[in-house]
Structure 1
Amino acid sequence: MRKWLPLVAICTGTFMLLIDVTIVNVALPDMATDLGTSFSQLQWVVDVYALALAALVLGAGSLADLFGRRKLYLIGLVLFAVASLASGLAPDAGFLIVARALQGIGGAIMFATTIALINTSYEGRDRGTAFGIWGAVVGASAALGPILGGALTELSWRWIFFVNLPVSVLAVVLTLAAVHEAKQPGAPRPDVPGIVLFSLGAGGLVFGLVRAASDGWGSTQAWAPMVAGLVVLAGWVFVELRRPAPMLDVRLFASRSFTGIMAGALVLNAAAFAALIYMSLWLQSIGGLSPLEAGCVFIPLSALSFGVAAFAGRALQNRPPRLVLAGGLLLVGIGSLLLGLVDGDSTWRVLVPGLAVLGAGVGMANPTLASAALASVPRERSGMASGAVNTARQLGFALGVAVLGSVFTARAGAVLSGAGASDPSGTASALTAGQAGQLIGAAPEPDRAGLTDLFASAYAGGLRDVFLVCGGLGLLGALVVLLLVRAAAPSAGHQPQARPQGAPADAH
């Protein structure tokens, strides 16, 4: 049994860092009330964590190769724990956003070392078993976040962060006791210019999209950072093409299969998980559910996601990845369109069929992404491909939350404007910040029933458009994967090697 302690240590950290991508969703209404946040601040509480993961997970791998993977994993755990404590103690939204960014940096350092630690801790059949268990943990984490978040928020939203402290201590103890140190001889230096440029470019793009949700698409405050972000990302590509050991060899995108898989990873997280923030707000602020009740609504998503991945994963791994990924994205698209049946009179029950189909799609596509990415590149680029998948997932989530914010506020504002509401855009932003109850409570008694119905219609309209966009993304992603990804199944036993950066790499 002792031989599996390294895997327990690695999976404990992995589960904790990935569940924190979505655990905050159900707690957002309580956060908004307690801290007096705006809608854009709520978006950043969710987005800044995913953005830090996306921007830094590739670059952190080279640090692990250079200085030691166990050492970096422990540093990431400690930073994650300290940032979790700071998040739980946050006195205002700005402090919480900064703490969440630090939490994301710690999570990226941890995530960048996990595969390499498994690779050096196990051999032969045990290695395959370890990767299978780790993959199941990865697949279940995001889907379980809302349920666990709902249970903890019943105590206080701050407990979704405080709970990380004992888990971090356990992971540190297990890592010190059971995980051996490993470095990569002759590992390249970190690609600092690449890391900085990618972080600034992706951050500018997401910042502009978030501003567009609150200020409108015609605002200079929205367009300027988006354009600047795209220019910086173009500069990043230019720099990466000329570096001997880049954080990501952009020439890999010359492979149609690799490009299709990266697009599939980005779309999967955008279409499947980015809408959860808006569902959680609707269930509580309009539906009147408690955080725990709202979290339990997501059980079909969690159960089907985990069940399909666990029980059908082995059979699906032997199928052509283009069919498995496209099938999963197709189900995500169909599930999102089913969720789009929501209207002003709907209750949480209308979400159940769509969440079930969505979960089946996630469970079908998720386990295949990493193996398909590894099969699409030369073996010496396996670690880089694995890291790129993780980057695409988290970037898709961050971009999805930002884009869907604009979709939501535009439709909700249009419904409010059509009903003659004063300041429809401001009211829409207040609704998306979970303030429906406060707005209704502040209105004169005779107007409250009418306002309740109007807010329900506005929120349902915004939510419906969000689901339609997610459905379209899922269907488009399925088509892109079918057109680009090769038909061959991944080669058996293609596990990552032991280095993650510009050369043979694996810490992702």
Structure 2
Amino acid sequence: MRTWGPLTAVCLGTFMLLLDVTIVVVALPDMARALHTSLSDLQWVIDGYALALAALLMGAGAAADVLGRRRVHVAGVVVFAAASLWCGLATGPGMLVAARAVQGVGAAAMLATTLPLLGSVYQGRQRSAALGVWGAVSGGAAAVGPVLGGLLTEGPGWRWIFFVNLPVSVAAVWLTLKVVPESRGARGTRIDWAGTVTFACFVGATTYAVVRAGSDGWTSTTTTGSFAFAALALAAFVLVERRVARPLLDLALLREPAFVGVMLGALAFNGAAFGVIPYLSIWMQTLLDMSPVRGGLTLLPMTGASVVVAILAGKLLHGVPARLTIGGGLLLIGSGGFCQAVLDAGAHWTVLVPGLVLVGIGVGLVSPALAGAALAAVPPERAGMAGGAVNTVRQLGYALGVAVFGTVLTSRMQDTVSHDAAHTLASGGAGALRGAVSEHTLRAAFASGLDTASVAAGVTGMVGGALVLALVRTPRAAAAAAPTPAEAATAPRA
């Protein structure tokens, strides 16, 4: 128990919080029918979770250093479980979105403390083995999410994708309190509350503006006002971080081209790889009449390829510069996006397989290398900060990807159907339009929207890859000397 107990406890929490990023994807059409949601509601079901996770991740890490990592981790699991119950009992879209945001708060506390807890328990070879298991669980959660979501949605119903978290949470809390020792950061650590609040306002307002642009237009008062508020929040964040003694993010790191390149690559990565998937799921289930289980299984070419490549890359590409694995992986993800832009009114999902496999290969190359590249690009005393920043930017990239590509999707659809019909179709309401609009027109509209969104994702991946190749020039020796993620997580925050 001493060897495996702490690892099991931490991995239970990690599996749940990462599972909930992808498990909702195949349940979106059923949610839409049950709760009568709009497209923006569905986007916020995804983005509410991802944004709360991104906005609070670095702040939660600092709080855990002060208050105790085990204490914050357990509190996060409890909040996550309570919010999961709330999600499952939701009676309307507003309630579900609010519950998902609270879920994200709990997930931030869990994810921010995962690696520090492992780093405080395991040393040497045991630490390497623990990180390997943790990495496999992380990848497995993303792979299992769509399939498990499909099984639960088609079986007991979509609410069970949230209820299933409850027994796992109970086990995680019990095991964590029993076998995981308490640990804290260096003395003198302070929580940057002002930085946390201003950063949260920035990411929230930015995403809200993009979502509103899809329904109100880019020049509407709501959209421009939200962008203006986001700009003010960003300016306030910069001012705060320049003045506080212990900032969430040391802005001096942004003078390092390699660090900037890794952050831009992380932002592009999650958006380009996963931002279109929710709309693919809606297309498959509402226009191709696929069941939730089949809809989840169609993503296996991508998730399977990513897991296999991640395992092989760890063994075969050791010592290869991160700029090549990350940059090359993003170029593959971009190519996969372009390969998916092949749909028409009569297309079947199998035409997506080559593109999905390419994206999966790219994900398998990029995901394991991002954290190490971020750590190699900064001084050792900033390692914990860099690890938190890269995870934050990844979640922000996913939230923005879902919002931006949803706006691109509906804008392109409006070349074929009306504004209202485009939003109804994208939110899973094809059944309500049948009779008023021909089946061929519905399929053609959705296919054209997906093609354009996939091209946008492809461009995002290509640009991200090019920026990484241009900016990340970390010497091989420095990369080899970079601390492991667990070492970084236990490094003092300065």
| Same fold by TM-score greater than 0.5 | yes
C-alpha distance 183-379 of structure 1, shift in aligned 2 (>3 A): same
Partners of 2:487 and 2:301 in 1: how far apart?
37
Partners of 1:230 and 1:283 in 2: how far apart?
38
Q: Does 1:97 align with 2:59?
A: no
Displacement of 1:340: 0.8
Partners of 2:308 and 2:27 in 1: how far apart?
26
Displacement of 1:407: 0.3
Q: Is residue 115–residue 486 contact of structure 2 (8 Å, CA) maintained in 1?
A: no
Which residue in 2 is equivalent to 1:369?
Answer: 370
Which residue in 2 is equivalent to 1:42?
Answer: 42
Which amino acid is the alignment partner of residue 165 of structure 1? L
Q: Deviations over 1:222-259 (max 9, x none)?
A: 12101211221122012101111011112111100000
Matches for 1:352-363 after TM superposition, within 5 Å: 352-363=353-364
C-alpha distance 218-498 of structure 1, shift in aligned 2 (>3 A): same
Displacement of 1:119: 0.4
Q: Is residue 27–residue 157 contact of structure 1 (8 Å, CA) maintained in 2?
A: yes
Which residue in 2 is equivalent to 1:453?
Answer: 440
Equivalent position to 1:433, from 427, 437, 440: 427
Q: Is residue 54–residue 395 contact of structure 1 (8 Å, CA) maintained in 2?
A: yes
Q: Deviations over 1:275-295 (max 9, x none)?
A: 111100000111110111100
Which residue in 1 is equivalent to 2:179?
Answer: 178
Which amino acid is the alignment partner of residue 64 of structure 2? A
Q: Is residue 119–residue 489 contact of structure 2 (8 Å, CA) maintained in 1?
A: no
* Deviating more after overlay: 481-490 vs 75-84: 481-490
Which amino acid is the alignment partner of residue 453 of structure 1? H
Displacement of 1:500: 5.9
C-alpha distance 106-415 of structure 1, shift in aligned 2 (>3 A): same
Q: Does 1:393 align with 2:394?
A: yes
Q: How many residues align?
A: 491
Which amino acid is the alignment partner of residue 304 of structure 2? A
TM-score, structure 1 length as denominator?
0.94
* Deviating more after overlay: 15-24 vs 256-265: 15-24
Displacement of 1:185: 4.1
Partners of 2:16 and 2:485 in 1: how far apart?
23
Displacement of 1:396: 0.2
Displacement of 1:498: 6.6
Displacement of 1:61: 0.6
Displacement of 1:497: 6.7
> What runs of 5+ residues in structure 1 fail to find an aligned partner?
417-423
Partners of 1:497 and 1:146 in 2: how far apart?
28
C-alpha distance 273-120 of structure 1, shift in aligned 2 (>3 A): same
C-alpha distance 459-254 of structure 1, shift in aligned 2 (>3 A): same
Partners of 1:300 and 1:498 in 2: how far apart?
34
Which amino acid is the alignment partner of residue 191 of structure 1? D
C-alpha distance 344-319 of structure 1, shift in aligned 2 (>3 A): same
Which residue in 1 is equivalent to 2:452?
Answer: 465
Which residue in 2 is equivalent to 1:20?
Answer: 20
Q: Deviations over 1:331-389 (max 9, x none)?
A: 10111111111111111111111111111110111000001111111111111100001
Which residue in 1 is equivalent to 2:285?
Answer: 284
Which residue in 1 is equivalent to 2:139?
Answer: 139
Q: Does 1:505 align with 2:493?
A: yes
Which amino acid is the alignment partner of residue 273 of structure 2? A
Q: Does 1:75 align with 2:75?
A: yes
Equivalent position to 2:483, from 475, 487, 494: 494
Displacement of 1:136: 2.7
Q: Secondary structure at the match of 1:415?
A: coil
C-alpha distance 37-117 of structure 1, shift in aligned 2 (>3 A): same
Identity of aligned residues (%): 49
Q: Does 1:210 align with 2:211?
A: yes
Q: Is residue 26–residue 295 contact of structure 1 (8 Å, CA) maintained in 2?
A: yes
Partners of 2:144 and 2:230 in 1: how far apart?
32
Equivalent position to 1:475, from 459, 462, 465: 462
Q: Secondary structure at the match of 1:21?
A: helix
Displacement of 1:135: 2.3
Superposed CA RMSD: 1.6
* Deviating more after overlay: 340-349 vs 490-499: 490-499
C-alpha distance 387-317 of structure 1, shift in aligned 2 (>3 A): farther
Matches for 1:290-439 after TM superposition, within 5 Å: 290-416=291-417, 424-439=418-433
Partners of 1:61 and 1:323 in 2: how far apart?
30
Q: Is residue 185–residue 492 contact of structure 2 (8 Å, CA) maintained in 1?
A: no
Q: Is residue 321–residue 488 contact of structure 1 (8 Å, CA) maintained in 2?
A: no
Partners of 1:409 and 1:187 in 2: how far apart?
50
Q: Does 1:117 align with 2:104?
A: no
TM-score, structure 2 length as denominator?
0.97
Q: Secondary structure at the match of 1:337?
A: helix
C-alpha distance 496-32 of structure 1, shift in aligned 2 (>3 A): closer
Partners of 2:149 and 2:40 in 1: how far apart?
21
Q: Secondary structure at the match of 1:29?
A: helix
Displacement of 1:132: 2.2
Partners of 1:307 and 1:219 in 2: how far apart?
46
C-alpha distance 493-388 of structure 1, shift in aligned 2 (>3 A): closer
Matches for 1:154-165 after TM superposition, within 5 Å: 154-155=154-155, 156-165=157-166
Q: Is residue 384–residue 488 contact of structure 2 (8 Å, CA) maintained in 1?
A: yes
* Deviating more after overlay: 217-226 vs 38-47: 217-226
Q: Is residue 67–residue 183 contact of structure 1 (8 Å, CA) maintained in 2?
A: yes
Displacement of 1:187: 4.0
Displacement of 1:304: 0.7
* Deviating more after overlay: 375-384 vs 483-492: 483-492
Q: Is residue 189–residue 493 contact of structure 2 (8 Å, CA) maintained in 1?
A: no
Q: Is residue 375–residue 488 contact of structure 2 (8 Å, CA) maintained in 1?
A: no
Displacement of 1:138: 2.5
Q: Is residue 330–residue 475 contact of structure 1 (8 Å, CA) maintained in 2?
A: yes
